[in-house]
Structure 1
Amino acid sequence: MNLYVVYADAFRNGKRGDFFSLAKNLEYIKETGFDAIHVLPFLESPMQDAGFDVSDFFRVRKRLGGNEGFEVFLREVGRLKMKVFMDLVVNHVSMEHEWFKKAVSGDEYYRNFFIHTPVQPKLIEVEDDRWGKWARYRLNRRELRSRIIFLNQNGELPHWFRGDDGFWYYHTFYKHQIDLNWTNPEVVRAFGEVISFWGGKGLSFRIDAAPFAGKNLSNIREGQMGSHKVVRELRRMVKEVNKDGVLLIEACQPMYKMKKYFGSDEQPEAEMAYNFELMRGLWATIVSGKGSYIWKALRRTRDIPSHAGWVSFLRNHDELSLEYAQPKVRRLVYDSLVKNGVEFRGEYGLAGRTASFLKKDPRKIVLAHFLLASVNGACAVVYGDEVGKVTNRRYIRIDARDGNRGWLTETELGSKKAKLVRDELSKIFTTRLKHPELAVVKPVRSNRGRRNWLSLRYGGEGREIEVFVNLSRKKRVVSMDENKKLVLSINGAERKEDKIVLPAYSGVWLVGKV
């Protein structure tokens, strides 16, 4: 699977974009090599956090074409036989949601939809460790500790908001996003209705911020067992509605915790999860020229259940996340890219687009995506990266992530450089779809190792795929088995008799029978 990540209004039809204009561009997306699409939040929202602050789980925003426009989009998706993922925000809702409005108006039934307390928590201190900044509180003689996600949340109580009813409500992210109480069976039931509605239309779900769901007042830390109970419930509900529905988890956690969100073969949780470890390994390799970073990441991400698979990516729609990275890797990637990106959450993340991180160099943009397609997992690419769209600081309003957003202009889609990048990436991802074993077969390290070089070998179903990547500025030449066929090359790599000539930042895929 190749997954195209996009906002519904990314492609403009006149002065604005919506599901009607997105539907008209689905053929463009499929021709670029993508057979699945993840539409970023499109439900009703006051838009204080790009739609991740949902105020109605059943209505598509009017400016995006409403539910009618979404149905037009779905019909075109069906015609092209593409898979659709939607964001399901399960950790919190907007304070504009009817549930919260009723809660603060005094309705105890809805107050219990949220993590709340009548007693004001006391902030003990804010502290740092290798994973980030944390707040420690005292509440009802119990000490609580929670990670501060957005570092600008540095007020008197970084995680608590006093409602009009006098109760204190917990929020992981911004204070207008109130955390839900998943220990309440009524919250589970309510989301069952949401999944039944959208899953019944054939959609799969990307679960936003999964480790933060399932908290309770006695333990507000992320990644607790309660979050796994939530994921299992979501999987059960999805499969009841649509057996082909897929649960894709966003869970940026240490790897040993991340793997647990797949569950086990006996008690499965998610089918797919974003591979943050490999994302950081890809960037460490790109900026250093050392393929060993990719190999280390591949080793750490093995040993997952048979039903599970990774989604590999270079960055997500929000940022290039460096939280939970090994300190040396974090420092290497951050120091190498910060001057070409936008600071976000201190040294724990960078906002910006792939092309900007790579100084708009078409060779390196193509190389980065070639590396992405050459490693395990389904591939996810954020809209605009296929044409080398750059960071636009003019979009920044609320926080640095806004610079990654905005629509695709005719200039960005039609320039000579855009066409060059898109042609190369289309070739890469179209070829990737013809070799699905790359997503699931564990590669072995080829014996042609050298500095500034990456070589992988995949075997399976009677054929073998070899990948060679020149990570340096110097030309490299390698011998080629005459029984193998060159099926993909980038940045001028070519076959000359029994040799493969690899110019700077180039690579090839060779396929042969075994």
Structure 2
Amino acid sequence: MSKPSVPASGQTGEWWADAVVYQIYPRSFADANGDGMGDLRGVLDRLPYLEQLGVDAIWLSPFYKSPQADGGYDVADYRQVDPLFGSLQDFDAMLQEAHRRGLKVIVDLVPNHTSDEHAWFRAALGTPPGSPERDRYMFRPGKDEVPGSGDGKRPPNNWKSIFGGSAWTRVTEADGSAGEWYLHLFDTKQPDLNWENEEVREEMRSVLRFWLDRGVDGFRVDVAHGMVKEQGLPDWEGVAAMVEGTSEVRREPAPPGDAPGAHTDAEEPHRAVSPVYPPSPFFDQDGVHDIYRDWHRVLSEYGSDRMMVAEAWVEPAERLALYVRQDEMQQAFNFDFLMAGWDAERMAEAIDASLKAAEAVGAPCTWVLSNHDTVRHSTRLGLTDPTTFPKGIAADDEQPDTALGLARARAATMVELALPGSAYLYQGEELGLPEHTTLPAGARQDPTFFRTQGAETGRDGCRVPLPWAADKPGFGFADSFPGEPASPWLPQPAEFGPLAADQQEGEEGSTLELYRAALAFRCARRLGTGSLAWAEVHAPESGLLAFHNRDVLVLANMGFASAPVPDGWSVALFSGPEPAAEWELMHEVPVDCAVYLTRN
């Protein structure tokens, strides 16, 4: 007997509950002016492509005025478009055209920190300790090198930056003396705001209203689990584990008899588990929920169709669900699903836990496999251990099996798009783009690479500009520019050429056409608003993931041998590249493939 079905969402009827959202990293999407940097006009030019792809909304990573120390996540002015990307008029034109085509628009909001070039931080540096200007940020006196000496030479606590190194930087006061320290959980150029300060809270309400007044449909909230820090800023025991290496999740040997589909018989199977740290004093503090209840009220001023989605790396699923209670955010990214990898047991566990936790608070689930902060899933799933989660891949690291990774990625995407709830796609995954794993060190720009002295490769490999036309300079990244365009801001690998959009357009079996078909199938069958029930043939211990959603049966084979198609069912869509004539009468699902089945 199949297990009882689990509803997708308690918030039926809202557009985001089942929306497929396409993430645009603006600097790498499309370049309209030929300067080598993607821009808002480039987004506008490619809206017909996104409409034809079949997505419901777009999410734009930051395009605000910024010195670009962290790809725009260091905001100098929340109300201005950086000249790299165009102007407010360009944004308005893009937004208007997106809406005309039926696409919702979500913009990134970065509330945990600003740029050190923000007017507020410059004012803070120009005023003495204890000033109202400094109270907008997390300035603190240092600890004495020798107790009682008053020299304040040591940081206020032992916190480490997520990007490597200390989370504290000491400033030089106006008189030239060594002064206070300021907190930056990320780069030195990203000072953390003080969310105990009412002026900070009012400013961010104003920023929300500025973009809501322009007509945006929602916000993706960066570091949504940050902002509030534990009172007293105590030292954290978890720093030791963090410093020793959390660039990959900790791994344990699988118990005897375990058979994850990720490995060959000759390999020693391992199962990834999350790092075990003491509770963090700077992430997932209960006080963040007061902020989101406040923001919920702001969005409600504009009707019931505006939304927020949290980027919150929080576990377990029950803690993440707190962010999407009825009076807080509408969605939160499901990173458990992203990190499950190519393993039927882990994926089934992530699906079960996520649906259960979301249903408990009446919220929709979200599903995601790749984004601008992670190695592309077409590459991760081609590694020897396809449940691993590296923070970047360099030329001297293990290189993936490209064909195997793409086959698994296509199948995993079919699982994602058949699940009830909302799905997020990362630009280029519909082309089957791999991570750029041989990007030269001299081309890298991610601050994590530099702050860790190269110990962490960083995120540049997933941020390489998209290929639109195989035979044009920069693979058509500036295809609409009439002159000779500059080279893209990050070099593209040669393997991008055959994967360019113009090479896949209309080609049966291409990854682009598979995505279009899967999205159309999802829409026609209303899978996003359906429910999940594990099928009788579901056997994750043998590598077979199988579930019903409405009148569709989904099978994903992560095991070692072909799996039979159940009697009475026929293949409606297959993740492999073979033409439809070859799989419509399929009787077995090959390894590393997925199918959508309908009743005969």
TM bracket (short chain):
0.7 to 0.9
Which residue is 1:206 aligned to?
A: 220
Which residue is 1:5 aligned to?
A: 23
Q: Which residue, 407, 423, 432 being the options, matches 1:379?
A: 423
Q: Does 1:298 align with 2:344?
A: no
* Contact 2:368 2:423 (C-alpha < 8 Å) held by counterparts: yes
CA deviation map 1:437-457 (0-9, x unaligned): 445623324335372322111
Which residue is 1:228 aligned to?
A: 289
Q: Does 1:401 align with 2:459?
A: yes
Cα deviation for residue 406 of structure 1 reads 2.7
Which residue is 2:323 aligned to?
A: 261
- Cα 1:188–1:369 change in 2 (3 A) is same
The number of aligned residues is: 457
* Contact 1:275 1:312 (C-alpha < 8 Å) held by counterparts: yes
> Which runs of structure 1 show a deviation greater than 6 angstroms over 4 or more consecutive aligned residues?
331-335, 349-352
CA deviation map 1:55-84 (0-9, x unaligned): 000001112111111111111101111111
Which residue is 1:359 aligned to?
A: 402
- Residue 383 of structure 1 aligns with an amino acid whose one-letter code is Q
| Higher deviation after alignment, 358-367 or 97-106 | 358-367
Q: Does 1:168 align with 2:181?
A: yes
CA deviation map 1:192-217 (0-9, x unaligned): 11000101223200000011112265
Which residue is 1:277 aligned to?
A: 336
Q: Does 1:454 align with 2:545?
A: yes
Q: Which runs of 5+ in 2 are unaligned?
A: 1-18, 147-153, 174-178, 234-280, 450-457, 471-495
* Contact 2:565 2:587 (C-alpha < 8 Å) held by counterparts: yes
| Mapping 1:76-475, distance limit 5 Å | 76-106=97-127, 108-117=131-140, 119-121=141-143, 139=156, 146=159, 148-150=161-163, 152-153=164-165, 158-165=166-173, 166-203=179-216, 204-215=218-229, 218-219=232-233, 220-255=281-316, 256-263=318-325, 265=326, 268-281=327-340, 283-285=341-343, 291-301=344-354, 302-304=356-358, 305-320=360-375, 336=385, 343-344=390-391, 359-361=402-404, 362-392=406-436, 393-394=439-440, 395-398=443-446, 399=449, 400-409=458-467, 410-411=469-470, 412=496, 413-414=500-501, 416=503, 420-438=510-528, 441-447=531-537, 449=539, 451-459=542-550, 464-472=551-559, 474-475=561-562
* Contact 2:415 2:554 (C-alpha < 8 Å) held by counterparts: no
Cα deviation for residue 505 of structure 1 reads 3.0
Q: Does 1:494 align with 2:583?
A: yes
- Cα 1:381–1:479 change in 2 (3 A) is same
- Cα 1:73–1:415 change in 2 (3 A) is closer
- Cα 1:439–1:116 change in 2 (3 A) is farther
Cα deviation for residue 337 of structure 1 reads 5.2
Which residue is 1:54 aligned to?
A: 75
CA deviation map 1:449-473 (0-9, x unaligned): 37232211124xxxx3211223356
Question: Normalized against structure 1, the TM-score is what?
Answer: 0.80
- Cα 1:402–1:239 change in 2 (3 A) is same
SS of residue in 1 equivalent to 2:195: coil
* Contact 2:402 2:434 (C-alpha < 8 Å) held by counterparts: no
Which residue is 1:131 aligned to?
A: none
SS of residue in 2 equivalent to 1:167: strand
2: CA distance, partners of 1:28 / 1:123: 60
CA deviation map 1:102-154 (0-9, x unaligned): 1111172221111112x204799xxxxxxxxxxxx985xxxx6646422x31x
SS of residue in 1 equivalent to 2:132: helix
**Which structure features the higher share of helix residues?**
1
- Paired-residue identity, %: 24
* Contact 2:324 2:361 (C-alpha < 8 Å) held by counterparts: no
1: CA distance, partners of 2:387 / 2:527: 35
* Contact 2:330 2:363 (C-alpha < 8 Å) held by counterparts: yes
* Contact 1:477 1:500 (C-alpha < 8 Å) held by counterparts: yes
- Cα 1:357–1:184 change in 2 (3 A) is farther
Q: Which residue, 466, 477, 485 being the options, matches 2:564?
A: 477
* Contact 1:351 1:404 (C-alpha < 8 Å) held by counterparts: no
**Which structure features the higher share of strand residues?**
1
* Contact 1:11 1:22 (C-alpha < 8 Å) held by counterparts: yes
RMSD over aligned Cα atoms: 3.2
* Contact 1:19 1:72 (C-alpha < 8 Å) held by counterparts: no
- Cα 1:19–1:321 change in 2 (3 A) is closer
- Cα 1:351–1:426 change in 2 (3 A) is farther
2: CA distance, partners of 1:338 / 1:458: 25
Cα deviation for residue 414 of structure 1 reads 4.0
